[in-house]
Amino acid sequence: MAYGHSGDVKALAVHPIETHVFATGSESGKLQLWNAKLKMLKAKVTLHHPAVSCAFSPDGKHVAVGCKDGCLLILSYKNIVTGQFKQVVQRPQDDSRCEFHHCNEAIETVQYSPDGSLLAVGSRDTFIDVYDVTGSAVPGRSVGVMYHRLHRLNGHSSYITHIDWSSFDKKNPDRHVLQSTDGAHELLYHDCNSGKQVRESLRDERWDTQTCTLGFSVMGIWPDTNGGAKAADATGINALDRGPVPGRDALGRRHKGELLATVDDSGKVKLFNYPCVVKHAPFRAMRWRDVPGLARKPTGTSEGYTGHSQNVTNVKFANEGAHVITTGGFDRSVMQWRVDEDAIETKGHTKRTKEPRPYVTKQPLPKVLLPRGGDGLTTEERDALASALLEDDAGTAKQEKETLCDYLVTVTTGDAKGASTDAAVVFSAFGEAADGRTLVIRETVLDNAPDNFSRGGVDVFKVTASDIGTLTHLKIGHNDSGDSPGWLLQSVNLSNITKGWETTLFPRGVWLDKQRGGETHCTLRPSEHELRKHNAAHALVDQKFFVTVTTTDTKGAGTDANVWIELFGEFGKASGARNLDNAADNFCRGRVDKFELDVAGMGAGITKARIGHDNSGFGPGWCVEHVDVLSVSTNETVSFDLPASGLWLEARNETGTSCEIFPKGKHARRTVAAQTRYKIEVHTADTKAAGTDANVW
């Protein structure tokens, strides 16, 4: 249980991609993001409006928030997490804010369509407003503007309570049907493409979500009443949600079936099977009652799970059905429930379950992951990991002989555009003991703040692990998740507080970005000498390079000739001339071409290159603007020094059809065409016999 709101909590939504992340909003004007795995606050934002409903877009980029004063806000999830300004989404057409005031009363529910093209907003005005998210969702009606109001759906006689969209149909992808309920116990259907009400029954329709408390598939959630008692009020159940059965079988397949969680004004949380079509269906919650002289067993009627002090306002399944999140009204609390997959078919037993230990909010230690696959590890690293895992599994770890050390991992992110990452960053370290054994710090997630690994930031993480002796190398990378996973790793510093040593790892300034042609992980060495030594040892190993060539955007810059490049390594080896050809329109004017080369025996380092063409075709002349070569093994990019106006390669020029080019750097040579040119003017005197026929130098 976690507390963080100072007003009634009603808004609740789960991130569709990062299912362990969920958002809550309260009438105090706060929207908070939580991490269900770490049980901690991820980020928060002040709305300046009392929030009563929220929803994530299917791609997870936007958060729609409905407010009590009738305001609708569209927020950027990335900007909230990274703490950037302009958290309200702006339209690219006119930079206007996506903040709308079309409703006069509270917006009780908001829902995105499964394809993310439409947004439905239900309010206490008894209307449902449908917004075109992309600006082109409905041909003939869309106007090309993001988040413009497309329809206002009528028909309800009371305030809107819940909304569900029909599931995405591959055979009819443009179909958008909506079901909605209101305070007068009405269940209506609308076609959101036309904005008209659907009169026929849709009891067999498959809905993308199930939040409506009325309908054939949820008819059994309403409780039975005792003789002479008043029937249950249709507004007594505040919210429900459908989720998968958690866990997987021995083959890794997800369990079949679905569950239904409901919450009501009595503070109870109930769990049903879905579909719930049996009248007064039983639910999986029994109340334990101690009867003197009898065994402990469930007696009496099933009453549901109790945790909130009063009414429960909302419920959602999170983390692929492993958890249920509930929000309280007057108690202003957010509770996280674990769904026990082993007890799914259990209806009661004579053994009393243990009470869970209370969770105390504190700074969590980094979670240790167990890389059992061993992909990308050397034989020594794999053997060391296997030995450590066997000790953990058998429970035979020699704790009395094991020395635990406190390490500080200092990670610096580069100060460049796009340098920050919102992916999960992990690291592992390897060392050598005095007897030659390989020791490891197993893969550890680095995460202790919402703004970790921001542009130009320095993050420090404390890790407690076994002593690894003499550090040999370190591996760091990310899982390539989130909106912008690419990351510029400037430097990593590892210090052992217990033993009193500190090491800076090399290389520095490494882009871990697949979109730039790199990898998501890299290996760092404790010194530049060790890095060169390692590269020399792997010189005869096949190396992969990505060559990016940019043709100048000037008249006649493109070429029809066959272009080639030759790379020269640090150990005197060369790749030989390699043709650059992977498309019919390579090396057109202003085009950026990317090629993949596999080179053996040259090493990963590059000292120079030679680029040119065979002077064939109708227009062989070529002006090249940029040449960059990325080494996949070291993840280093070499940019070559070319003139700002481009390097012309044609037969009639002094340079010719080919030229040697050199990397940019402090001591690097300049290319022939990039050398500084001087204009020398010589004035001969205007006197008799002042001219000469000799060669002047």
- The tokens 């290996």 sit on which residue? 523
Which tens digits make up the pLDDT trace of 216-238?
A: 889 888 876 654 444 445 567 89
Beta bridge partners of 183: none
Centroid of chain to Cα 140: 35
**DSSP code for 389:** H
User: Minimum mean pLDDT among 263-272, 551-560, 601-610: which range?
Assistant: 601-610
Question: Would you call the peptide bond into 173 cis, given omega within 30 degrees of 0 as the criterion?
Answer: no
**Closest C-alpha to 209, from 53, 32, 58:** 58
**Closest C-alpha to 315, from 360, 361, 256, 267:** 267
What's the pLDDT band for 677 if we cut at 50, 70, 90?
A: low
Q: Write the single-letter amino acid at 214.
A: L
**Residue 254 φ/ψ, nearest 5 degrees:** -70, 145
DSSP strand E in 57-106: where?
Answer: 62-67, 72-76, 99-100
Higher pLDDT, 635 or 538: 635
Contact 213, 237 (CB under 8 A): yes
Which tens digits make up the pLDDT trace of 603-615?
A: 667 888 999 999 8
- The tokens 């979109």 sit on which residue? 515
List CB contacts of 653: < 8 A, sequence separation 6 or more.
none
Average per-residue pLDDT for the chain: 81
Q: Write the single-letter amino acid at 15.
A: H
Q: Where in the chain is the domain with CATH 2.60.60.20?
A: 379-537, 543-661
List CB contacts of 438: < 8 A, sequence separation 6 or more.
380, 381, 383, 384, 430, 431, 432, 472
User: Minimum mean pLDDT among 354-363, 388-397, 655-664: which range?
Assistant: 354-363
Q: Write the single-letter amino acid at 38.
A: L
Residue 396 pLDDT > 50: no
Most confident of 89-93, 225-229, 559-563: 559-563
**Alpha carbons 322 and 465: distance in angstroms, whole number:** 29
Q: Write the single-letter amino acid at 551.
A: T
Cα-Cα end-to-end distance for the chain:
88
Fold of 379-537: Lipoxygenase-1 (2.60.60)
- The tokens 């008894």 sit on which residue? 126
**Alpha carbons 259 and 323: distance in angstroms, whole number:** 12
Q: What is the mean pLDDT of residues 616-635?
A: 87
Contact 138, 175 (CB under 8 A): no
What's the pLDDT band for 391 if we cut at 50, 70, 90?
A: low
Which tens digits make up the pLDDT trace of 321-331?
A: 889 999 988 88
pLDDT computed for residue 378 by the predictor: 62
- The tokens 């481009």 sit on which residue? 646
Residue 359 pLDDT > 50: no
Which tens digits make up the pLDDT trace of 251-265?
A: 667 777 889 999 988
pTM of the complete model: 0.51
User: Minimum mean pLDDT among 181-190, 219-228, 303-312, 530-539: which range?
Assistant: 530-539
HSE-CB of 614 using CA atoms within 13 angstroms: 11
Instruction: Report in angstroms the alpha-carbon separations of 136 from 113, 146, 174.
Output: 14, 8, 11
List CB contacts of 90: < 8 A, sequence separation 6 or more.
96, 97, 98
Share of the chain above pLDDT 70, in %: 80
pLDDT computed for residue 541 by the predictor: 54
What tokens appear for 377 in the block?
A: 């590890």
Q: Is 350 helix (H, G, I), strand (E, B) or coil?
A: coil
pLDDT computed for residue 360 by the predictor: 38
Instruction: Report in angstroms the alpha-carbon separations of 72 from 23, 63, 90, 105, 236.
Output: 16, 10, 14, 11, 27
pLDDT computed for residue 344 by the predictor: 42
**Alpha carbons 416 and 523: distance in angstroms, whole number:** 22
pLDDT computed for residue 558 by the predictor: 93
Q: What is the mean pLDDT of residues 49-68?
A: 94
Q: What is the mean pLDDT of residues 381-387?
A: 61
Strand 578-579 relative to strand 501-504, pairing: unpaired
Residues for the chain: how many in total? 697
What tokens appear for 206 in the block?
A: 């498959």
Which tens digits make up the pLDDT trace of 398-415?
A: 443 467 899 999 999 998
**Closest C-alpha to 218, from 266, 164, 272:** 272
Which tens digits make up the pLDDT trace of 562-578?
A: 999 998 887 667 888 88
Residue 135 pLDDT > 90: no
Share of the chain above pLDDT 90, in %: 33
Question: Would you call the peptide bond into 507 cis, given omega within 30 degrees of 0 as the criterion?
Answer: yes
Strand 578-579 relative to strand 636-639, pairing: unpaired
**Alpha carbons 631 and 629: distance in angstroms, whole number:** 7
Q: What is the mean pLDDT of residues 461-472?
A: 89
List CB contacts of 138: < 8 A, sequence separation 6 or more.
132, 150, 174, 193
Residue 376 pLDDT > 60: no
**Alpha carbons 144 and 133: distance in angstroms, whole number:** 10
**Alpha carbons 697 and 680: distance in angstroms, whole number:** 12
**Alpha carbons 13 and 20: distance in angstroms, whole number:** 11
**DSSP code for 216:** G
What tokens appear for 135 in the block?
A: 């600006």
Q: What is the mean pLDDT of residues 644-671?
A: 79
Residue 116 pLDDT > 60: yes
Neighbours of 345 (CB within 10 A): 7
- Check if CATH label 3.10.20.30 holds for domain 543-661: no
What's the pLDDT band for 370 if we cut at 50, 70, 90?
A: very low
For the chain, helix, strand, coil in percent to 5 are 5, 40, 55
